[in-house]
Amino acid sequence: MTEENEVKLTDLPGIGPTTASKLEDSGYGDLMSIAVMAPPDLSTLADITESTARKAINAARKLLKLEFEDAVQYLRKREEVLKITTSSKNFNELLGGGIETRSITEAFGAFGSGKSQLAHQAAVNVQLPIEQGGANAKVAWIDTEGTFRPERIKQIAEGSGLEPEKTLKNIFVARAFNSDHQVLLVDKVKDLIKNGEPIKLVIIDSLMSHFRAEFTGRGQLADRQQRINKHLHSLIRLAEAYNIAVYITNQVMADPAMMFGDPTRAIGGHILGHASTYRIYLRRGKKDARVAKMVDSPNLPETECVFFITEKGLCDEI
């Protein structure tokens, strides 16, 4: 895919500065998001006629060279997709092979359910050679809660037969101090890639904590969702443009409407559900076991699997 950042929305026919800023505020600040829209939707959103909307969309598609791909091309693109091992066969199977590039994988669950542990494991495993379930690549880790643990990385690296210090050096960690900073850091990841860093995994642990803390009032909810939407779209673009796996963690809250079963659901509302390609629910099982459940995927069944967290990292049995 071409990098669309050089062309501005105002380069499109019928889109002036006012309309452009309206679109930007709604999270549609780039050509790609316009190119994939339907004319009636753009018309409503930007308050322009449907025929103007159609012209703008077509122009965006042309600029991005978006054409129908034939099946062979599509397959080739899919073949480029890498699957990063979790070190648990069961978990890999649940994910259809591993944590996929060109996708967003979201894990949600209660505290201690293993979301951050999976992040640490993946940050090590992506460095493995491709034949061993890695991508022979580096990691960008956006830490919003201060839960990145270098000692844990060393431990897991040793468990995987990798050199601990070298493994740590391949992980770019940035602490995000607030939601604006978090958003900005995604651009910084792009800069790293443009500077030649072979990054194949981007971790955000956790996605919502700053947004949740900063936008508290009911009146701020729409604004919050809009910003999250924009943030997610830039993550999707990053994943697609550079064949990167994006792994995000998310918290849960009690769902008062749910009377039976597990009364928790992911926070962040529908936009997060739509943006994530794979959603996994993690919970503690018996003893040290963890249960992962695929709750949303375009091509995989809604199954469950059991795995364990040990000193060496994730595994199938202890």
> Does residue 297 interact with ligand GTP by CB under 6 A?
no
Q: Are 164 and 154 in contact (CB under 8 A)?
A: yes
Asked if 111 is part of the footprint of ligand GTP (rule: CB under 6 A), the reply reads yes
Site for ligand GTP, residues 146 to 185, rule: CB under 6 A: 147
Work out whether the CA dihedral 248, 105, 212, 271 comes out positive or negative: positive
Q: Which does 68 bind (CB under 5 to 8 A by kind): Mg ion, ligand GTP, none?
A: none
DSSP letter, residue 68? P
Give the residues lining the site for Mg ion (CB under 5 A): 115-116, 147
Please say which residue, 87 or 113, places its beta carbon nearer to ligand GTP: 113
Nearer to ligand GTP, 66 or 289 (CB): 289
Q: Is 112 in the site for ligand GTP (CB under 6 A)?
A: yes
Rounded to whole angstroms, the Cα distance separating 62 from 34 reads 12
Supply 277's token pair. Answer: 């390609």
Complex with ligand GTP: residue 98 or 114, whichever CB lies closer: 114
Put the strands of the sheet holding 138-143 in their side by side order.
171-175, 138-143, 199-205, 245-250, 103-109, 278-284, 289-296, 304-310, 313-315
User: Distance between terminal CA atoms of the chain?
Assistant: 44
Among 115, 200, 227, 230, binds ligand GTP (CB under 6 A): 115
Residues 119-148 binding ligand GTP (CB under 6 A) are 147
Q: Is 30 helix (H, G, I), strand (E, B) or coil?
A: coil
The alpha-helical segments, DSSP class H, found in 6-49 are 17-25, 31-35, 39-46
Cβ distance to ligand GTP smaller for residue 155 or 229: 155
Largest Cα separation within the chain, whole Å, is: 63
> Which of 116, 277 has the CB closer to Mg ion?
116
Shortest Å, Cβ 109 to ligand GTP: 6
Report which residue's Cβ sits closest to Mg ion: 116
Q: Is 309 one of the binding residues for ligand GTP (CB under 6 A)?
A: yes
List the single partner that 109 binds among Mg ion, ligand GTP, none, CB under 5 to 8 Å by kind: ligand GTP
Pick one of 19, 52, 88, 116: the residue that binds ligand GTP (CB under 6 A).
Answer: 116
Stretch binding ligand GTP (CB under 6 A), from 78-86, 91-99, 107-115, 122-130: 107-115
Q: Which is nearer to Mg ion, 113 or 125 (CB)?
A: 113
Least spacing, CB of residue 251 vs Mg ion, in Å: 9
Strands of 76-160, DSSP E: 83-84, 99-100, 103-109, 138-143
Q: How far apart are CA 84 and CA 222, in angstroms?
A: 35
Q: Which of 14, 96, 310, 316 touches ligand GTP (CB under 6 A)? A: 310
Distance, in Å, from the CA atom of 293 to the CA atom of 126, rounded to the nearest integer, reads 22
Cβ closest to Mg ion, residue 128 vs residue 208: 208
User: Would you report the helix, strand and coil content of the chain in percent, each value rounded to 5?
Assistant: 45, 20, 35
DSSP label of 106: E
Least distance (Å) between residue 66 CB and ligand GTP: 38
Interacting residues toward ligand GTP by CB under 6 A: 109, 111-117, 147, 309-311
